Amino acid sequence: MLIKLKNKEKLIFDEFEFKCAIGKNGLKKNKIEGDKSTPKGTFSLGKLYYRPDRVKKPNTSLTTKKITRNIGWCDIPNNQYYNQEVLSLKNIDKEKFYRNDSKYNYLIVINYNKKRIKNKGSAIFIHLTENYEPTNGCITVNKNDFLILVKLINKKTYIQLN
């Protein structure tokens, strides 16, 4: 099962097409941390995170996890937890999931840079958008499309970004 990116503005899965946005600087084979590009390649999907204080647990076969105030994703290349989930009550550097806006009410981890190579890029997700503005490297879709997509995909689904 494969989600494909088409023309940098659509995700296609089976006969479904979903409008999307990608990184401000397009697709890049040799992505580096902070370059505002979306990595090229084919990647598996990780956990689906959601904000239970704002949205319902989605109908999906993906592994889900509730977002709490102290959860995030380490995007600091020199940190031992680079490109992985972090929990902290302290205000350490991380991409915070508990946000004032709605972008991370739902998100799915794209398993990019699984070996956690320093400066190769981190925190690449499929998350929500309301305006389809270019991202810092993630892929965004609207909430309704996200909820349809997560019903269709499963733990064996890959995303192809070419």
Count of CB atoms situated within 10 Å of the CB of 41 = 15
Q: Give the residue among 96, 129, 122 at the shortest CA–CA distance from 19.
A: 129
Q: Determine the 3-state secondary structure of 58 from DSSP.
A: coil
pLDDT tens figures, 129-140? 999 999 999 999
pLDDT tens figures, 42-89? 999 999 999 999 999 999 999 999 999 999 999 999 988 999 999 876
Q: Could you tell me if 45 and 158 are in contact, meaning their C-beta atoms sit under 8 angstroms apart?
A: yes
pLDDT tens figures, 87-103? 876 666 678 999 999 99
CATH fold of 2-161, please? L,D-transpeptidase catalytic domain-like (2.40.440)
CA geometry: angle 142, 111, 136, nearest 5 deg: 50
pLDDT tens figures, 3-23? 999 999 999 999 999 999 999
